[in-house]
Amino acid sequence: MRKWIFFVLTGMLGIVVSSCSSDNGGSSIIYPKEPPRDRLYDSSIINDEAKWGMMNVHDPSIFKDGEWYYIFSTDVKVGGMPRAGIQVRKSKDLIHWQWVGYALDGVPEEAEKWTGATNLWAPDVTKIGDTYYLYYVASTFGKNQSFIGVATSKSIEGPWEDKGAVLKSRQGDEWNALDPNIVYDADGNIWMDFGSFFGGIYIIQLDPKTGKPLEGARPKLIARRGGQDAIEGPYIIYNKQQKKYYLFTSFDSLMYDYNVRVARSDRIDGPYADYNGNLMTDTSLNAGTKILNSYQFEGSNGWVATGHNSVLQDGNDYYIIHHARGDQDTNWPYLHVRKILWSDDGWPMVSPERYAGEFEQQLNREDVIGDWQIIELDKDDNSQLTSTTITLLKNGKIDKGNGKDYWEFSGKNNVKLYFYDPDHALKGAYRIETAKVIPAWDWENWRPTLVFTGFDQNGTAVWGKRIKP
């Protein structure tokens, strides 16, 4: 009777239990339930917004309101002119998304006059008191005659009342009024980070009475790249456990090689430094710890231009929300949600597979034995990265050819891979990849599996997916 109740409950929660045998009795791994299948490159639904689901999502910003998760995103439409007004979707599980509509009826008059924009970009939503604030951008591609505006509502689904400009920039200004993100600091003060490769990423404190900059406040630079190298889409979160602020930004082309990087600080207004201590304002360095990149697992199609993220903290769980383009036709942007795990030294690690309901749980050493596809997210290579295959053997060796490679398992779900590589190891003779393992859904092979995510001692992110026990 108890077993029957257990399986009923797990079915209701959208999970699948698999018992894995081992010399030590094995463990019961709870895998996510089969998610809805992708409908990629489906031109038959171009004009049917109710069927878009994760399609036509660009620059997604997430906000949780009660039991619903809401995504607000840029006005885009594959194969036609988009309607202006900020697209809105909602979900109860971060997996099944339904169309809500448009937040605004076109480009507000003041924003259109300032920029000539025909659609709206990069929204972000927050709540101040009992009022919702929707921030939006009007601009034109490649220019920094830009406009950040705000609208308010007593309901997350509107109607929204436009409140005009928050920040404007002119062509030739050092900074760009683009990509706003609203964040509360540890003391409850409200800030807005924003900007792009026109001058870099800035932050300014807001007045909680208006949702606009405090009187006398000036933008402060917190991240910049050299020359016209692209940096945009900033998003800051505060992790109470780490007592640090984390700045996520997207580098390079939104069509081809978008990639997400992170840095952290003790203060919301910086300085922000990456895994290796490089400051995000040092334009002589390729700073920022890469945690998300275009990728392809061997034997399957992949994704490119994975970027412009937001981050959701939901209780003790964290998720990164971003868009990606299918590598068979990069004109099509889609919504991706991925679970974030945290390294023991306090860095966010992104799952190599999209979220399907998985969670961290106790695993055994024997669970991870088998063949794995791994991808190393080289910070100097932003092209689509492909996987290689290794085998984690029962005797603790890694079958990779030279006999000196080995692996270890410890704690709840930690794995360490030791690759003999004296030419590239930071210290000693081994390149050491430290990662956490979690059950997931294998979207490429359409089955449950295990994945890992972590870093090596050089700060290079590493992904793994088990393809055979």
Grade residue 77 by pLDDT with cuts at 50, 70 and 90.
Answer: very high
376 shares a domain with 341 = no
User: Is 367 one of the catalytic residues?
Assistant: no
User: Is 423 one of the catalytic residues?
Assistant: no
Distance CA 119, CA 75 (A): 6
Domain-located, residue 11? no
User: Which domain, by its residues, includes 88?
Assistant: 43-350
323 shares a domain with 372 = no
Residue 410 is part of a domain; what is its CATH number? 2.40.128.10
Report the number of distinct structural domains present in the chain: 2
What six digits make up the tokens of 236?
């800051």
Domain-located, residue 382? yes
Grade residue 138 by pLDDT with cuts at 50, 70 and 90.
Answer: very high
211 shares a domain with 64 = yes
Per-residue pLDDT at 186 exceeds 90: yes
Domain-located, residue 9? no
What is the rounded average pLDDT of the residues 151-167?
98
Residue carrying the six token digits 């294998």: 442
pLDDT tens sequence across 236-271:
999 999 999 999 999 999 999 999 999 999 999 999
Q: Record the pTM.
A: 0.94
What is the rounded average pLDDT of the residues 265-278?
98
pLDDT tens sequence across 86-137:
999 999 999 999 999 999 999 999 999 999 999 999 999 999 999 999 999 9
Position 421 scores a pLDDT of 86
pLDDT tens sequence across 8-62:
333 434 455 554 433 333 569 999 999 999 999 999 999 999 999 999 999 999 9
Grade residue 428 by pLDDT with cuts at 50, 70 and 90.
Answer: confident
Distance CA 390, CA 433 (A): 13
pLDDT tens sequence across 327-374:
999 999 999 999 999 999 999 999 999 999 999 999 999 999 999 999
Instruction: Calculate what percentage of the chain has a pLDDT beyond 70.
Output: 93
What is the rounded average pLDDT of the residues 279-304?
96
Domain-located, residue 193? yes
Position 400 scores a pLDDT of 64
What is the rounded average pLDDT of the residues 143-157?
97
Q: Which CB contacts under 8 angstroms, 24+ apart, belong to 44-53?
A: 46/77, 46/78, 46/79, 46/80, 47/80, 49/99, 50/98, 50/99, 51/99, 52/89, 52/99, 53/89, 53/97, 53/98, 53/99, 53/335
266 shares a domain with 165 = yes
Position 401 scores a pLDDT of 58
Per-residue pLDDT at 294 exceeds 90: yes
**Which of 124, 179, 193, 232 is labelled catalytic?**
232
Domain-located, residue 355? no
**Which of 49, 59, 353, 444 is labelled catalytic?**
59
Nearest to residue 251, comparing CAs of 73, 377, 138, 139? 377
Domain-located, residue 20? no
Position 402 scores a pLDDT of 65
